[in-house]
């Protein structure tokens, strides 16, 4: 059982310069699955997501669209980012905007503390800046332009020309934290994961850290530097603090102590900000560093990273309108090894939907409920004497539940799903081998038939609980169809870490009709077909 420990998990806060695509949704779903799992396991869980709304890129986007930065951010949040959460069934506990007063005033408190403690100083700065990244670029990410940008220096990530900026800024003494960071990575190898991400971060810091420019004076869309209002806070320094301000930093010490530190789920392209700059900021402020920073891979379409600027962005609704939100969530969590790059294709999505969801899981659920209805008048029968085949199912269920929970602890969502799916495969094979339709024709096999159908129904009970963090809609339908809600309570009340313990579905439970959990989809309806 759970010890009720705190599990605070965050997504990045997403930049409101454009609408969300499936790359953003992928991150949201991963964090949501982890949060749902821990929440249902009884842990004190909190899921934070939100939007990053300051900086030069937002100012330019708003100006180009004939509006103010605040109006632009309000429009995008209301019309695009909040609806995304409903589209893909995100059960977040909070949604923070960097234009919220709770954030802005406490960023200023944090900054003032670092200034008072001598970690911030004034200086002159000249360097190549990428507006797309909102970052002065390190030499490793500056490349020579080609084509229309030949002769210019461009950003290796955005392939757009860099701007030479020269201004008086305030600097954070990040360089003095290099040794502490290297010691952190050494003492806590789980702090940055997966291993490839950790190696990249360690290599970067070993090359030496420069002090970080943390203010801008060439534009005014941002949080004012408290001791010099001619400057605004650098957007990343502002944005990273959302993880702390959202849970009470600066205004609710009790809640901050309850929630912090966090597990951060981020795309690998923003890993350095979260695994280098952010812990250095926290060390300077005398606060605990995050529990973990996990840099997942990119979604690739046609071999390229998902990107609006490169026109490879796919809106989540393009998938959910055809396949539904459960299939969206399942596909991205199962088809891609979390932490690695993964390619999206409509063909693979369609194939997995049909083979794994519709035929594998959905058909299994429909057959079992239908046979209980047909052979036992809709009442789950008591099991008789168990045989080796029945014990094999029980062992598969127990092993799968244990393996899945262990995988979740490592954030290996794909491994957790693979473990749970062994129950689907085991039950399908079990029903094929036991042939309950044949047993039903022989009155002397009545007890055996009851044992087989109890075993199948109880296996579905475990599947409903274990899969509910990933496919909440389908599993709730199954839970109701099994009659489990009346006997055991709500699906979200079931303790997830004991889901593999056998015999929880009471004999005598009345099942209800079950429509197809994953209806057949005509090939012509698939957008990429």
C-alpha to C-alpha distance for 446 and 372, rounded to whole angstroms? 13
Angle at 191 between CA 185 and CA 194, to 5 degrees: 100
In this structure, is the dihedral angle defined by the CA atoms of residues 265, 269, 272 and 274, taken in order, positive or negative?
negative
Average pLDDT, the chain: 94
Percent of the chain with pLDDT strictly greater than 90: 85
| Least confidently predicted of 81-85, 90-94, 153-157, 338-342 | 153-157
Q: 438 exposed, middle or buried (CB, 10 Å; 0-12, 13-18, 19+)?
A: exposed
pLDDT at 2: 43
Bridge-based pairing of strands 135-136 and 142-144 is unpaired
C-alpha to C-alpha distance for 388 and 375, rounded to whole angstroms? 23
Preceding omega of 25 cis (within 30 degrees of 0): no
Phi, psi of 318 (to 5 degrees): -60, -30
Q: Which pLDDT band holds residue 312 (cuts at 50, 70, 90)?
A: low
Residue 116, Ramachandran bin (φ over 0: left; ψ between -120 and 50: alpha; else beta): alpha
pLDDT at 307: 60
Strand order across the 304-305 sheet: 304-305, 299-301, 342-343
In this structure, is the dihedral angle defined by the CA atoms of residues 189, 192, 197 and 201, taken in order, positive or negative?
negative
With a cut of 60, say whether residue 193 has pLDDT above it. Answer: yes
CB neighbourhood size of 441 (10 A)? 9
Q: Note whether 499 and 401 are within 8 A (CB).
A: yes
Q: Note whether 463 and 424 are within 8 A (CB).
A: yes
Q: Which pLDDT band holds residue 398 (cuts at 50, 70, 90)?
A: very high
Q: 499 exposed, middle or buried (CB, 10 Å; 0-12, 13-18, 19+)?
A: buried
Residue carrying structure tokens 């959990």: 517
With a cut of 50, say whether residue 1 has pLDDT above it. Answer: no
**Helix, strand counts (H, E) of the chain:** 22, 18
Q: Note whether 123 and 167 are within 8 A (CB).
A: no
pLDDT digits (tens, 9 = 90+) for 238-273: 999 999 999 999 999 999 999 999 999 999 999 999
pLDDT digits (tens, 9 = 90+) for 41-58: 999 999 999 999 999 889
Task: Give the end-to-end CA distance of the chain in Å, rounded to a whole number.
Answer: 46
The more confidently predicted of residues 164 and 256 is: 256
Listed residue (137, 211, 122, 148) closest to 174, CA to CA: 211
The more confidently predicted of residues 32 and 57 is: 32
C-alpha to C-alpha distance for 449 and 435, rounded to whole angstroms? 9
Q: Which pLDDT band holds residue 158 (cuts at 50, 70, 90)?
A: confident
Structure tokens at 226: 């408290």
With a cut of 90, say whether residue 130 has pLDDT above it. Answer: no
With a cut of 60, say whether residue 311 has pLDDT above it. Answer: no
C-alpha to C-alpha distance for 16 and 72, rounded to whole angstroms? 8
- Helix axis angle for 446-467 and 363-376, nearest 10°, is 140
**Helix segments in 188-225, DSSP class H:** 195-206
pLDDT at 529: 58
Q: How far is CA 42 from the centre of its chain?
A: 19
pLDDT at 3: 55
The more confidently predicted of residues 131 and 55 is: 55
Preceding omega of 261 cis (within 30 degrees of 0): yes
With a cut of 90, say whether residue 163 has pLDDT above it. Answer: no
Residues carrying an active site annotation: 21, 24, 130, 133, 155, 158, 305, 308
């Amino acid at each position: 059982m759970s010890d009720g420990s705190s599990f605070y998990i965050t997504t990045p806060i997403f930049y409101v310069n454009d609408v969300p695509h499936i790359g953003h949704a992928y991150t949201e779903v991963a964090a949501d699955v982890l949060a749902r799992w821990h929440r249902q396991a009884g842990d004190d869980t909190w899921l934070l997501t939100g939007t990053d709304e300051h900086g030069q890129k937002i100012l330019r986007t708003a100006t180009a669209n004939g509006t103010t930065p605040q109006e632009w951010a309000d429009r995008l949040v209301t019309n695009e980012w909040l609806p995304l959460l409903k589209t893909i069934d995100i059960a977040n506990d909070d949604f923070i905007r960097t234009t919220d007063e709770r954030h802005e005033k406490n960023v200023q408190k944090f900054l003032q503390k670092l200034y008072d403690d001598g970690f911030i100083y004034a200086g002159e700065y000249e360097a190549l800046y990428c507006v797309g990244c909102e970052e002065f670029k390190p030499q490793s990410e500056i490349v020579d332009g080609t084509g229309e940008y030949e002769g210019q220096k461009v950003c290796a990530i955005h392939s757009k020309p860099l701007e030479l900026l020269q201004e008086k800024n305030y600097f954070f003494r990040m360089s003095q934290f290099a040794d502490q960071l290297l010691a952190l990575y050494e003492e806590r190898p789980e702090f940055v994961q997966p291993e490839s991400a950790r190696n990249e971060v360690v290599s970067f810091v070993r090359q030496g850290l420069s002090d970080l420019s943390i203010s801008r004076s060439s534009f005014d869309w941002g949080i004012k530097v408290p001791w010099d209002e001619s400057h605004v806070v650098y957007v990343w320094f502002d944005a990273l603090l959302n993880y702390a301000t959202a849970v009470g930093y600066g205004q609710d010490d009790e809640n901050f102590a309850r929630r912090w530190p966090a597990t951060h789920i981020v795309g690998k392209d923003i890993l350095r900000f979260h695994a280098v700059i952010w812990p250095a900021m926290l060390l300077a402020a005398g606060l605990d560093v995050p529990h973990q920073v996990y840099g997942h891979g990119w979604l690739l379409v046609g071999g390229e990273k998902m990107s609006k600027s490169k026109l490879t962005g796919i809106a989540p609704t393009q998938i959910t309108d055809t396949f539904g939100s459960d299939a969206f969530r399942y596909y991205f969590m199962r088809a891609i090894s979390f932490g690695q790059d993964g390619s999206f294709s409509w063909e693979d999505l369609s194939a997995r939907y049909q083979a794994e969801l519709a035929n594998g899981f959905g058909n299994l659920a429909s057959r079992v409920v239908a046979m209980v209805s047909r052979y036992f008048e809709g009442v789950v029968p008591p099991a008789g004497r168990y045989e080796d085949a029945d014990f094999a199912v029980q062992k598969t269920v127990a092993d799968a539940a244990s393996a899945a929970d262990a995988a979740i602890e490592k954030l290996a969502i794909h491994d957790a799903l693979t473990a749970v799916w062994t129950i689907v495969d085991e039950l399908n094979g079990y029903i094929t081998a036991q042939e309950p339709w044949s047993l039903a024709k022989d009155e002397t096999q009545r007890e055996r038939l009851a044992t087989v159908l109890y075993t199948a129904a109880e296996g579905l009970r475990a599947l409903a609980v274990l899969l509910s963090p990933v496919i909440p809609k389908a599993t709730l339908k199954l839970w109701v169809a099994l009659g489990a809600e009346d006997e055991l309570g709500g699906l979200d009340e079931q303790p997830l870490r004991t889901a593999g313990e056998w015999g929880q579905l009471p004999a005598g439970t009345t099942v209800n009709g079950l429509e197809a959990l994953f209806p057949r989809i005509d090939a012509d309806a698939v957008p990429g077909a």
